[in-house]
Amino acid sequence: MSSDTPTQGAELDQDEGRTRTVLEWIVTIAIAIGIAGLIHVFVGEPFIVPTGSMLNTIQLDDRIWGEKVSYRFREPQQGEVIMFDNPNGEGTILVKRVIATQGQTVDLVDGRVVVDGEELDEPYTENRPSLPLDQTLPGKDPVTYPFKVPEGCVWVMGDNRTNSLDSRYFGAVPTKTVVARALFTFWPFSDLRWF
By annotation, the residues acting in catalysis are 53, 96
**By 3-state DSSP, what share of the chain in percent is helix, strand and coil, each rounded to 5?**
30, 30, 40
Going by C-alpha positions, the residue among 94, 63, 59, 122 that lies closest to residue 180 is: 94
Is the Cα dihedral 13, 16, 22, 24 positive or negative? negative
Centre a 10 Å sphere on the Cβ of residue 169 and count the other Cβ atoms it contains: 19
Q: Does the bond joining 56 to the residue before it have cis omega, within 30 degrees of 0?
A: yes
